[in-house]
Amino acid sequence: MQGLSIDSVNQFFADREVLSSVYLNCKIGEVVGLLGRNGSGKSTLLQIIFGSVKANFKHLNINNKVYHKGYQSKNLSYLPQDNFIPDQITVLQAVDTFCKKQKAELKQIDFVTNHLSAKFYNLSGGERRFMECLLMIYSDTEYILLDEPFSQLSPLWIEELKKHINKEKAKKGFILTDHYYQSILDISDRVVLLHNKCNYTINNADDLITHGYLSGFTA
């Protein structure tokens, strides 16, 4: 079956086990939310899927083909927590690099059109984050990993990003994680919680309380 799946993920940092037999999958047409407290391994799992971090063990399958690193499939885009587009690149150059298939569609977004000639160092922190998110959402791949996409963004921009994700999920699959857990619950078709090194299926907010995620948690 077409889709992205990673199974039996084990990861140690020094002598501390962070992930133990973790499983996660995503299909075209769905948004999978990934929640967990700080240090639970959310970012590490996304980096393992993409291929920028090596796991002690994993089995990664993308569209029925096994990959050592997800980016080798050329069908996976990844938004890291930190800025990743060089300062001197213009928005237009970034669009031409990441969004060849949907370039025209992306240019219909007013924010993009108004900043095409701007270099990334000219953008504010929030503007830069918003632009990088749009570039990944409209990138030329079927599977998108978004690590803290709502960070630094105003509520209005968060809502706009949700609309773009919902629009694009008709032909793409998304895995995203963020500390703004309510936004994750709102946009996700399925939610997975990383807790005690393992993954748990979350059906509603009560499940997050049961597993201790919301207890004392501040969004």
pLDDT of amino acid 151: 87
Which of the 8 DSSP states describes residue 119? B
pLDDT of amino acid 15: 82
Ranges of the chain whose pLDDT falls below 50: 216-219
Angle (nearest 5°) at CA 181 between 20 and 108: 110
Here the tokens at position 55 are 């796991």
Return the closest-CA partner of residue 53 out of 27, 83, 78, 87: 78
Q: Does domain 4-83+141-208 have CATH number 3.40.50.2300?
A: no
pLDDT of amino acid 172: 97
Here the tokens at position 103 are 């370039």
pLDDT of amino acid 47: 97
pLDDT of amino acid 216: 46
Q: State the pTM of this model.
A: 0.93
What's the CA gap between 165 and 5, in Å, rounded? 20
pLDDT of amino acid 162: 97
pLDDT of amino acid 108: 92
User: Which sign, positive or negative, has the C-alpha torsion 5, 7, 12, 16?
Assistant: positive
What's the CA gap between 157 and 128, in Å, rounded? 12
